[in-house]
Structure 1
Amino acid sequence: MDNKNAILKVRAQASRHGIEFLLVGGIGLVFIMLFNLLRPGEISIVEIFLVSSCLAAIFVGFFKTQEPYYSFTYTNQLLIYHHKVGHWQLKRENFHHSGVPKVEQGLEYLELNAVGIKLNNIDEFLTQIHPRIAGRLLIEQRHIFMQVVQKHCKNGNCPSEWLVEETDYTAPSGQLYKGLIAMFANRTQHLRQLTGYDLLLPANALDTDIWQFSADLNRWKLNPSEFINTRLQKDVSN
């Protein structure tokens, strides 16, 4: 039976197996230290390598546990993106379509390792995003944005506003934004100009590959109830 109030929560690849990494790294480190204490002689190169591997596993596990357990929540009317410093939400009516951004590379096109979202109304989105997550996304996604800029500035002459976002932005509605929200808005404007999309969703925040996730978003847009219930039934069967 179709459930009009169903909610689908999606877990990101980035948050998976954090506890497992911590346990394996911690147990391995304790075992190696005990082994080295109980046997005579100096520590070997192999033991140093194993200790380094265990420490690396502990660090990876720690950072994974800092990520939100769920990265996306779907409802019939909202898409919510969860980040470790906050979240943003997008109304279904404001979602135009999604796809994989591409930039020209010679005679071919380079696909970015992210999913792009085109909005119907950027002003509506800006009114609900918090400056803290806006600032963090500006930093985290800069390397993806610079890939786009570099492909459009092969001669090295890039517009200055592409390289450093301005701290003032006037929305189509006439609303004036300042600070981090304005910088984020200017980034979205440049992204749309260069790729046709306003927002980027990095691959490590997704539960599938970028092409499948993009298709899922478009399915949610067309028929949210059917998409959510199909996914919930699939998750139960698995």
Structure 2
Amino acid sequence: MTQPIFIESTDSDNSETFIKFGFGLAGINFVVHFGFLSQLYIANMFLYGFAIAMLLLGYLKRSEPRHRLKLAGDGLTFYHRANTVFVPWENIQRVGIPAQDRIDGGKEYDFIGIKVKDPELFYDTFPLRLASKLLIEQRPLWLALAGKGCATGQCVPEDFIDSVECKLGANRIYRGLIAMFVHRSEKLNELLGFHFYINSNGISGTPANALKLIQDTKNENMNR
């Protein structure tokens, strides 16, 4: 395969359409408001608000990266509007689609999971701003696992409380925001078997195809 290989992001799709629609709606509403139907004040204000919402959504989608993943000879790069993170192939133990067999009867989640061999190396190079964004974006997955695990009596509620201090291994202690990310990643690894989660709803194509592409690229480069 010719490398690097890019897996596109769908989060930026239709950004220009939303922006054009917002400007168009605002322009039409302005003409109608002041030229013909100035008495429809409430309806005009609603349409102005809707136009502004479309513009904001369009500009937000435009800020999303065009690519979600880059697969190169040295490793995998994950792109996010907050930052990027690089994981070398040598530090990737396996990739897969997480499923919580023990709690959820084998249900698969809408993520591609990455299990790393050396968690400390992974956490030490992880951008804080990206960690902060992922803590928010992946909160539904975190709460779903917490609710199902505790409902079956198989977890301690304190395990799902974000900690500002986290000990990893014998001597390494993380503090602050990165400690919250480390604590959550380690708990997710315990429950689902992966440290890092990429939302599969934000990538082009099917999760199975993206997963196969990652696995094939990793195997090709590791066998060289």
Is this a same-fold pair by TM over 0.5? yes
Is contact 1:99-1:115 (8 Å) kept? yes
Which among 33, 37, 42 is matched to residue 36 of structure 1? Answer: 33
Counterpart CA distance in 1 for 2:43 and 2:114 is: 48
In structure 1, what is the equivalent of residue 208 of structure 2? 211
Note the 1:6-21 alignment, pairs <5 A.
Answer: 6-21=3-18
Unpaired segments ≥5 residues, structure 2: none
Q: Percent identical across equivalent pairs?
A: 22
Are positions 1:25 and 2:25 aligned together?
no
Secondary structure of the corresponding residue to residue 204 of structure 2: coil
In structure 1, what is the equivalent of residue 112 of structure 2? 115
In structure 2, what is the equivalent of residue 174 of structure 1? 171
Are positions 1:71 and 2:68 aligned together?
yes
In structure 2, what is the equivalent of residue 231 of structure 1? none
Counterpart CA distance in 1 for 2:39 and 2:89 is: 63
TM-score by length of 1: 0.80
Which among 78, 101, 105 is matched to residue 81 of structure 1? Answer: 78
Is contact 1:103-1:151 (8 Å) kept? no
- Mark the CA change 1:26 to 1:105 in structure 2 (over 3 Å): closer, same or farther: farther
CA shift at 1:37, angstroms?
Answer: 2.1
Q: Which letter maps to 1:135? A: S
CA shift at 1:22, angstroms?
Answer: 0.6
Is contact 1:25-1:58 (8 Å) kept? yes
Q: Which letter maps to 1:110? A: K
In structure 1, what is the equivalent of residue 135 of structure 2? 138
- CA root-mean-square deviation: 2.8
Tell me the alpha carbon deviations over residues 169-189 of structure 1, each in whole angstroms, 9 at most, x when there is no partner: 333373332222222111111
Counterpart CA distance in 2 for 1:212 and 1:46 is: 46
Which among 145, 163, 188 is matched to residue 148 of structure 1? Answer: 145
Secondary structure of the corresponding residue to residue 15 of structure 1: coil
Counterpart CA distance in 2 for 1:50 and 1:218 is: 48
In structure 1, what is the equivalent of residue 159 of structure 2? 162
Secondary structure of the corresponding residue to residue 111 of structure 1: coil
Which among 85, 98, 101 is matched to residue 101 of structure 1? Answer: 98
The total of aligned residue pairs comes to: 222
Counterpart CA distance in 1 for 2:110 and 2:6 is: 22
Tell me the alpha carbon deviations over residues 178-205 of structure 1, each in whole angstroms, 9 at most, x when there is no partner: 2222221111110011111111111343
Are positions 1:187 and 2:195 aligned together?
no
Counterpart CA distance in 1 for 2:170 and 2:210 is: 31
Unpaired segments ≥5 residues, structure 1: 226-238
Secondary structure of the corresponding residue to residue 37 of structure 1: helix
Q: Which letter maps to 2:82? A: V
Structure 1 stretches (4+) deviating beyond 4 angstroms?
A: 44-53, 104-107, 155-158
Counterpart CA distance in 1 for 2:218 and 2:77 is: 13
Is contact 1:12-1:204 (8 Å) kept? no
Tell me the alpha carbon deviations over residues 105-155 of structure 1, each in whole angstroms, 9 at most, x when there is no partner: 888332212111111111111121122221221122111121122221115
